[in-house]
Chains A and B, each alone.
Chain A
Amino acid sequence: MTSHDVRDMLDLPDAAASRPTKKQKISTQRPTLKGLAREVQNLSGDNPIAIVPEISVFKKRRFASRKPAAKWELRSFKNPAREDDSLTLRHWRRKQETPPAPAGYDGSTDLPDTTNPEPEIERSAFAKFNVQVNVPDYTDDEYNKRLQNPDWSKEETDYLMDLAKQFDLRWPVIWDRYEYEPIIPSMDVETNQTAIVVTSKVRSMEDLKARYYFVAATMMMLRKPPIQMNTAEFNLHEVMLNFNPGQETLRKKFAEAAFRRTKEEAREEESLLLELKRILARSEKLNDERRELYARLETPPSTGNIGIYTSSQGLQQLLQQLMTVDKTKKRKSLMVGDGVSPAAGPSGQAQNANADRRESSVRESTTGPSGAPGKKGAQGPSERRQLTEEEERIYGVSRHERLTSGPAFRLERISKPLISKSAVQQTKISNVLTELEVPQRLIMPTAEVGEAYESVLQSINVLLEARKVADKLAGEVAVAKAQKAEKEKAARLARGEPADGDADAAVNGTGEAEGSEVKQEEREKSVAASIKGGGAHKRSASVLSAASDKNTKRQKK
């Protein structure tokens, strides 16, 4: 739009003289400003626009292919895939560029040109696609042995094989062309007229396939036992052997039904499928929700100490804690998408720790000494993964009443009761162990072995106690005998009899009975004890051992 146009619109008188000159100017400028709309150019008024328009440059034409037009010729060729060798067809082919022959030999060059291609008639490039199918062949003998079928005669089988070969196993074609006329045994004309006309059976494609596959698989097996086949061959064999005509028919029927269903039916089916999907998804969700609910129901109610929250300070603290938990939870729920993440943030963890402590204390107090370990596991905090018994066995997890936390070695634990004993006791026990041919160091210190070892040690302890008591008793007997002898001696002396070897012998005998380990003072003590408790003659061994236990304890003190 120029100033002139504006004037024109406003019905302003124009300086008519200036117009033509301007137009001329513009027209002179125009070639330089190509590519811009006229209106845009006009906007600038008299001043040229300071935009450099893009000058589109076209590609230069290629002159390289400026050659004389290619020459084509009609050439004859043969297709070796064809059975009739005589047929020669022709097709257009690019003429071979013969090197320019020297001038003047025009006539002579023509001659070899025509003679040369003649001997080598081109073979069709498509001949290689004519692949022949390997149709199983069989001898009469083989047929009679393996391929007999009451439904199929040999002739018909042969016919089928021929068709299969002819149509390259294109089953629809084979089925279409299948017109087997059973050969009527040559008879007299009269009989022929009266004879029942053998009607050719109507074979379905599946029948044909089943027969063919059976024959092919059988022949394959005969030619090469399945063990020697390679994988491809074996797979083929399996497929052919497992051909099920009934299933195939069903499949085709189904496919056809699916093909022929109306639009409404198809739509209905689709909607039903969708519905099913939705139902499944919903039930899954429902299950999840239910599981979550159960999990929540199962978590033990915290009956922890609320004492700290009774004071206002404690309440304030609780409020703060809850608020921080809430915050972190919100953040977490935004990230994860579930509102109840058990462990949230550091403060949440601290609270968790609280809960855990509470819980563990509850557990310790509620479960008695007979607390079933399995139940305890089930009671564990919900955030920890629950292990099944099988998993516990696999991962070597076990639960115990009292444990000193930290790593330890099993053998150490097992041999602890032994090591904690005095050196004398230890040597005694180890002596017994060597006597029993139990190695000092257990070969397999597993939990079970540990238990067995412990019970062995216990019974050894009982044995050792019994031995101790036996020693003591022997001492007592010896003393008693000695006393008796003494008394007798005194009595004899009182009677005025001379001391004879009788008493000596008694003393000697008791000396032999004495245990070598029994000390003199122990003997005296036990004598004193036996004198004190002389009334109870028929004490059982266990009571005795208990008494001696006390004795030894006193000695230790």
Chain B
Amino acid sequence: MAPPNNQKRVKGVQIFRPFVYGSTAKLFDPATNPKPPGTPEDHTHSWTVFVKGVDDTDITYWCKKVQFKLHDSIPNPLRCTDFPSYLLPAKGIYWKKQANIPILAIEAGAPGTPFQVHETGWGEFEIAIKLYYIPESLEKPQTLYHHLRLHPYGNTETEKETMRQAPQIISWAYEEQLFNEPYEQFYDLLTSPVDRSKGAGGKGTKMMKGGMVGSSGERTSLIPLSCRPGQPFSRETEKAELKRLREAQGKVEEMTKKLQSELRDTEKELASLKEG
């Protein structure tokens, strides 16, 4: 990696990449979701917290590693001598050694595979998700917060009820990673299709490994046009949201207008009162 002072930022440019993070939880059920052996008695749910590309596109070309900071009560196997086997991390996943708090770091695997942690538990808590960018970006890691949902949630009872009916509790969020004024090397990487990074020197080849294998090779910021099951974020959703916001704005403006006309009336009243 070139020393940072050799690199300059591309001024006035912002590049974004969409991604999805969130959690999926499932109640233990002997028929559909049996408890894996070794799970503590009081655990009621199995859950997964993840960070991945929209429509499972590759994000590993800008995101190198993701750290999930879990709840203190979850044992870090590196601290405990006798940890249950189900907590043994898979390849590319490791627990932070020094940490007194359970932090799981997931290294980028094959492109298109999500960064995710499978766990079991009984309680909801806030998970701090720290995104580490690829070294070429020269950027510091950033933190997101996600509230793990195990139980149905929502503003109304009907929302909760539909969630109760669903096989799993889904709490996913769409987010866009903004790179403001990226460094030039990173800019090139972000604005080129996979094959172009080949020429980007020694580092390029390393990333090539990632880019070539995946079927979702295109490194774009595009999101799908329409929703599919298991893929709720798309242009369609965006349009719906825009529509709702515009409607809301219309309503607010109407309310303001009404209020202002009322104001004028009260003013007049006040004036008449003072004169009187």
Q: Which of A442, A470, A538 contacts B262 (CB 8 A)?
A: A470
Asked whether B142 lies within 8 Å of A459 as measured between CB atoms, the reply is no
Decide if the interface of chain A is mainly helix, strand, loop or mixed.
helix
Tell me how far the C-beta of B265 lies from the nearest C-beta in chain A, rounded to whole angstroms. 10
Cα(A308)–Cα(B233), bound, Å? 54
A437-B248, A444-B238, A447-B16 given; A410·B179 CB < 8 A: no
Please state if B273 and A384 are interface contacts (CB–CB under 8 Å): no
> When the two chains form their complex, are residues A385 and B248 in contact, meaning their CB atoms are under 8 A apart?
no
B residues less than 8 Å from A399 (CB atoms) = 12-14
Query: When the two chains form their complex, are residues B139 and A360 in contact, meaning their CB atoms are under 8 A apart?
Result: no
How many Å from the CB of B150 to the closest CB on chain A? 18
Q: Which B residues are in CB contact (< 8 Å) with A443? A: 174, 233, 237, 241
Known A395-B221, A432-B252; judge A401-B12 contact (CB<8 A): yes
By beta carbon, the residue of chain B nearest A392 is B191
Which B residues are in CB contact (< 8 Å) with A406?
Answer: 139-140, 180-181
Looking at chain A, what size class is its interface with the partner chain? 35 or more
Number of interface residues of B (CB under 8 A): 68
Check B221–A349 contact: CB distance below 8 A.
Answer: no
Selected from B10, B12, B245, the residue in CB contact (under 8 A) with A384 is: B10
In angstroms, Cα B271 to Cα A73, docked, is 142
How many angstroms from the CA of A356 to the CA of B18 in the assembled complex? 29
Cβ < 8 Å to B, chain A residues 466-484: 466-467, 469-470, 473-474, 476-477, 480-481, 484
- Return the chain B residue nearest A473 by Cβ: B266
Q: A77 an interface residue at 8 Å Cβ cutoff?
A: no
Contact across chains for A395 and B14 when beta carbons are under 8 A apart: no
- Contact digits for B216-232, partner A, Cβ 8 Å, 1 yes 0 no: 00011111000000000
* CB nearest neighbor in A for B219: A395
The interface-forming segment of A95-103, A250-258, A450-458 is A450-458
> Does B158 reach chain A (CB closer than 8 Å)?
no
Interface assignment of B176: CB less than 8 Å from any CB of chain A? yes
Is the CB of B251 closer than 8 A to any CB of chain A? yes
A449/B252 in contact, CB under 8 A: no
User: In the bound complex, do residue A470 and residue B259 qualify as a contact, i.e. CB atoms below 8 Å apart?
Assistant: yes
Contact status A409-B176, CB under 8 Å: yes
B residues in contact with A353, CB < 8 Å: 6, 8
Q: Are A470 and B178 in contact (CB under 8 A)?
A: no
Q: Is the Cβ of B222 less than 8 Å from the Cβ of A394?
A: yes
Per the bound structure, the CA–CA distance linking A396 and B18 in Å amounts to: 9
A375 → chain B, closest Cβ, in Å? 12
- A465 CB → nearest B CB, Å: 9
Beyond known contacts A364-B11, A396-B15, A444-B174: 20 more, CB 8 A cutoff: A346-B6, A356-B8, A364-B12, A385-B191, A395-B219, A397-B14, A398-B14, A400-B12, A405-B181, A410-B177, A413-B178, A433-B248, A443-B241, A444-B241, A445-B175, A449-B238, A449-B245, A452-B242, A459-B249, A466-B256
5 A-B residue pairings within 8 Å (CB atoms): A396-B221, A408-B178, A438-B248, A466-B263, A530-B270
